[in-house]
C-alpha cells in the first residue's frame, strides 16, 4: 500500500505528497508496537531539527555555536541515557554505596540508539558547515524512513536527503524494484530460516551457562559459534531487508555487512561488520579525538606517529587511547551492562594489538596487507576466534555467566570427544577426556543438528560471495569496499533477472514466511 501510494503520487508529480506519504507510513510503522514511542521519536526529531537550525543560523552569522551544539549533544545523551542506562546506573550506585534504590520500569523505545546517533552526527555536521538547510519534512523522513529506522544501517543525512530531491526517485523503476525484492527476500530468508534456527542452539548453551551447568569444552564452544553465526545472519539479514525495502522506493541505503568472517584481522573485521557503525564511530568519535590530540601535541612540539615508528608513547596516545575510547563508546552503545563494556574494551584491545603488529610489520619492511593464502586462512581463523570470545560477553546475560562460559570453553568442565574416536585415542581417557559425543546428551543439544548447521553456515559465510557481489552487474550503488577475490566460476551464478532466479527468490520468500510462523521472531538488534 505504501509503495503503491508513493508511486501514484510520484506519477502525478506530487513529490512532496509522496514524501509526506512515506513519512506518515514510517511513523505509523514505528508507532505500531507502542504508540507512545512515537512521541519520544517526534520530540527527539523536533528538538534536533530546531537545534540544527539554530546552529546553522549562528554559523552563518559567524556566532559561536558551542552552546547549542553542547545542548544538543547533552539532550541526546540524556534522552538515550534515561531510557537505556538508568537502571544500569542505579544498579551500580547500589553496589558501590550499598544502597537499595529500586530499579525503574522503563520500556526502551525502539531504535533509540540508532536515531540518537544519526541526529548527534547531524548536529556536529551542522556546526562544521557540513549540512544544508533541510526542510522539516526531509529531516523527519531522513530520521524516520522505515527501512532503516528500527535497526539501521546508520544513515548519514547527506546520503539520504540528497535522494529526496532526485526527481527519478519518484518514478517506478523495474530494475530498482526487482533488486529491492530480491535483496529483501534473501534477507528475510537469512533472518527467519538461518538465524532463527541457530538461535535454538545458542539459547540452549547460554541458558545452561546461566544455570552453571558444567558444560564440556565442545558444548561451551557451541554457544559462541552458533551465536556469532546467528547474529551475523540475523543482523545482516535485517540490513538486507532494510536495503531491499528502501530500494522499492528508489532509495539507496549504505552497505552494512561485507562477508565479515572473511576478515583477516580485527581491523578488517570492523571494516566489514556493522560498517555504518564503524564509519560513524570513526568519523564522530575516533577522528575528533585523534585530531584534538594531534593538534595539542603539535602545539606542544611533541612527536607524532610515523608509519614505521615503534615509539611507544605516541602510539599509546595517538592510537591506543582513541581506539579504546571509541570501542568503549561502541560497547556502551550496544547495551547497558558491564558485559557490553567488556565487549567493547576487548575489541578495543584487539584493535590496538592489531595496529601495533602492523607497525612492527612495517618497521620490518613487510606490507601488512600481503600474506600467503595459507597465512590468510590462519589469520581468518584467529580473527574469528577472537571475535567469538568477545561475543560471549555480548550475548551473556551478565559478566559472571560470560566468564563461566569462557572457562568452560577452555576445559574447566572437561572435554568430551565423539564416541567414534574412543577406539583410536583411548589413551586420552587417562587425561580425563570423555568419549560421550562432541556434546553430551545431558546438555539437550543434538550433535547431528548442531554440527551440520554450524559447519555449513560457516562455510557459506566464509567461502560464498555475499549478495552484493551477486548483483553487482546490475547496480553500482553498492560498492564492495574490500578486495575479496572469488573463484571465477562463481560468476556463472551471478544474479540475473531470469526465470530461475525469480522462482528461486519466490521460494526463499515463502520458506522464510513459513519459518516466521514458528519459533523465535525477534530481531536481535531491535534492542539497540
Among 98, 105, 174, 370, binds other proteins (CB under 8 A): 174
Helices (H), 98-216: 112-127, 136-144, 146-149, 157-164, 174-189, 196-210
Q: How far is the CB of 249 from other proteins (least distance, A)?
A: 10
**Positions 238 through 277 that interact with other proteins (CB under 8 A):** 247, 250, 252
| Bridge partners of residue 416, in order along the sequence | 434
Among 496, 521, 522, 526, binds other proteins (CB under 8 A): 496
How far apart CA 83 and CA 437 sit, in angstroms, is 45
- Of 148, 156, 334, 358, the active-site residue reads 334
Q: How far is the CB of 188 from other proteins (least distance, A)?
A: 12
DSSP code at position 420: G
Backbone angles phi, psi at 342, to 5 degrees: -65, -40
Among 16, 34, 130, 175, binds other proteins (CB under 8 A): 175
Q: Which lies closer to other proteins via its Cβ, residue 87 or residue 472?
A: 472
Question: How many Cα atoms occupy the beta-carbon half-sphere of 354 within 13 Å?
Answer: 21
Q: How far is the CB of 282 from other proteins (least distance, A)?
A: 25
Q: At what angle do helices 66-97 and 36-60 cross, to 10 degrees?
A: 140
Site for other proteins contains 159 (CB under 8 A): no
Question: How many Cα atoms occupy the beta-carbon half-sphere of 360 within 13 Å?
Answer: 7
Q: How far is the CB of 382 from other proteins (least distance, A)?
A: 37
How far apart CA 123 and CA 255 sit, in angstroms, is 23
Q: Which helix (H) or strand (E) holds 388?
A: helix 373-395
Site for other proteins contains 498 (CB under 8 A): yes
Stretch that binds other proteins, among 117-125, 168-176, 289-297, 313-321 (CB under 8 A): 168-176
Site for other proteins contains 374 (CB under 8 A): no
Site for other proteins contains 11 (CB under 8 A): no
How far apart CA 19 and CA 138 sit, in angstroms, is 8
Stretch that binds other proteins, among 20-28, 30-38, 54-62, 166-174 (CB under 8 A): 166-174
Neighbours of 155 (CB within 10 A): 26
Give one word for 444, left, alpha or beta, with left for phi > 0 and alpha for psi -120 to 50.
left
Q: How far is the CB of 247 from other proteins (least distance, A)?
A: 7
Secondary structure (3-state) at 444: coil
Active site residue 334: yes
Site for other proteins contains 481 (CB under 8 A): no
Q: How far is the CB of 514 from other proteins (least distance, A)?
A: 4
Residues near 450 by beta carbon (within 8 Å), at least 6 away in sequence = 201, 222, 226, 438, 439
The size of the interface with other proteins (CB under 8 A), counted in residues, is 36
Nearest to 475 by CA among 495, 501, 455: 495
Among 20, 477, 486, 527, binds other proteins (CB under 8 A): 477
Given the C-alpha cell 546553522, which residue does it identify?
56
Stretch that binds other proteins, among 45-53, 236-244, 441-449, 468-476 (CB under 8 A): 468-476
Q: Which lies closer to other proteins via its Cβ, residue 421 or residue 506?
A: 506
Q: What is the separation of C-alpha 396 from the centre of its chain, rounded to a whole number of angstroms?
A: 17
Residues near 419 by beta carbon (within 8 Å), at least 6 away in sequence = 435, 436, 437
Contact 140, 157 (CB under 8 A): no
Stretch that binds other proteins, among 327-335, 456-464, 485-493, 496-504 (CB under 8 A): 496-504
Q: Which lies closer to other proteins via its Cβ, residue 62 or residue 498?
A: 498
User: Residues 518, 405, 194, CA angle at the centre, nearest 5°?
Assistant: 25
Q: Which lies closer to other proteins via its Cβ, residue 61 or residue 517?
A: 517
**Positions 499 through 528 that interact with other proteins (CB under 8 A):** 499, 501-503, 505-507, 509-510, 514-518
Per-residue contact flags (x/-) with other proteins for residues 176 to 215, judged by CB under 8 A: xxx--xx---------------------------------
Catalytic residues: 334
Task: Point out which residues bind other proteins (CB under 8 A).
Answer: 168-169, 173-178, 181-182, 247, 250, 252, 472-477, 496-499, 501-503, 505-507, 509-510, 514-518
Amino acid at each position: 500500500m505504501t509503495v503503491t501510494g508513493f508511486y501514484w503520487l510520484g506519477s502525478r508529480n506530487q513529490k512532496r505528497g509522496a514524501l509526506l506519504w512515506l513519512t506518515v507510513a514510517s511513523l505509523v510503522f514505528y508507532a505500531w508496537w507502542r504508540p507512545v514511542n512515537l512521541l519520544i521519536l517526534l520530540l527527539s526529531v523536533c528538538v534536533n531539527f530546531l537545534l540544527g537550525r539554530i546552529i546553522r543560523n549562528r554559523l552563518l552569522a559567524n556566532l559561536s555555536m558551542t552552546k547549542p551544539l553542547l545542548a544538543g549533544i547533552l539532550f541526546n545523551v540524556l534522552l538515550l541515557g534515561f531510557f537505556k542506562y538508568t537502571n544500569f546506573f542505579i544498579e551500580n550506585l547500589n553496589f558501590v554505596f550499598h544502597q537499595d534504590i529500586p530499579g525503574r520500569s522503563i520500556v526502551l523505545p525502539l531504535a533509540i540508539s540508532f536515531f540518537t546517533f544519526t541526529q548527534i552526527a547531524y548536529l556536529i555536521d551542522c556546526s562544521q558547515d557540513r549540512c544544508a538547510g533541510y526542510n522539516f519534512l526531509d529531516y523527519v523522513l531522513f530520521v524516520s524512513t522505515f527501512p532503516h529506522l528500527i535497526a539501521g544501517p546508520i544513515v548519514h543525512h547527506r546520503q539520504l536527503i540528497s535522494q529526496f530531491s532526485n526527481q527519478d526517485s519518484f518514478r517506478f523503476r523495474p530494475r530498482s524494484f526487482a533488486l529491492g525484492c530480491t535483496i529483501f527476500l534473501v534477507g528475510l530468508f537469512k533472518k527467519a530460516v538461518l538465524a532463527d534456527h541457530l538461535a535454538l542452539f545458542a539459547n540452549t548453551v547460554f541458558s545452561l551457562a546461566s544455570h552453571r551447568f558444567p558444560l564440556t569444552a565442545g558444548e561451551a564452544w557451541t554457544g559462541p559459534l552458533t551465536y556469532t553465526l546467528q547474529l551475523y545472519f540475523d543482523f545482516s539479514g535485517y540490513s538486507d531487508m532494510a536495503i531491499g525495502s528502501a530500494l522499492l522506493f528508489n532509495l539507496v541505503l549504505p552497505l552494512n555487512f561485507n562477508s565479515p568472517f572473511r576478515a583477516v584481522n580485527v581491523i578488517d573485521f570492523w571494516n566489514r561488520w556493522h560498517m555504518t557503525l564503524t564509519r560513524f564511530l570513526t568519523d564522530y568519535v575516533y577522528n575528533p579525538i585523534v585530531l584534538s590530540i594531534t593538534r595539542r601535541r603539535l602545539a606542544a612540539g611533541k612527536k607524532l606517529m610515523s608509519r614505521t615508528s615503534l615509539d611507544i608513547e605516541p602510539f599509546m596516545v595517538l592510537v591506543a587511547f582513541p581506539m579504546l575510547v571509541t570501542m568503549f563508546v561502541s560497547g556502551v552503545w550496544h547495551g547497558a551492562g558491564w558485559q557490553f563494556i567488556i565487549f567493547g574494551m576487548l575489541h578495543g584491545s584487539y584493535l590496538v594489538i592489531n595496529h601495533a603488529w602492523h607497525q612492527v610489520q612495517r618497521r620490518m619492511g613487510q606490507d601488512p596487507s600481503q600474506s600467503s593464502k595459507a597465512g590468510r586462512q590462519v589469520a581468518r581463523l584467529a580473527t574469528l576466534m577472537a571475535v567469538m570470545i568477545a561475543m560471549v560477553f555480548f550475548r551473556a546475560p551478565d559478566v559472571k555467566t560470560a566468564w563461566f562460559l569462557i572457562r568452560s570453553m577452555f576445559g574447566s568442565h572437561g572435554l568430551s570427544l565423539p564416541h567414534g574416536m574412543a577406539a583410536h585415542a583411548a589413551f586420552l581417557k587417562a587425561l580425563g577426556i570423555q568419549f560421550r559425543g562432541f556434546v553430551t546428551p545431558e546438555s539437550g543439544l543434538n550433535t547431528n543438528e548442531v554440527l551440520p548447521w554450524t559447519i555449513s553456515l560457516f562455510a557459506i559465510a566464509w567461502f560464498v560471495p555475499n549478495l552484493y557481489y551477486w548483483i553487482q552487474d546490475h547496480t553500482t550503488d553498492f560498492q564492495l569496499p574490500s578486495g575479496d577475490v572469488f573463484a571465477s566460476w562463481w560468476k556463472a551464478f551471478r544474479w540475473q533477472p531470469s526465470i530461475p532466479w525469480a522462482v528461486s527468490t519466490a521460494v526463499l520468500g515463502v520458506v522464510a514466511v513459513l519459518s516466521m510462523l514458528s519459533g523465535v521472531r525477534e530481531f536481535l538488534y531491535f534492542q539497540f
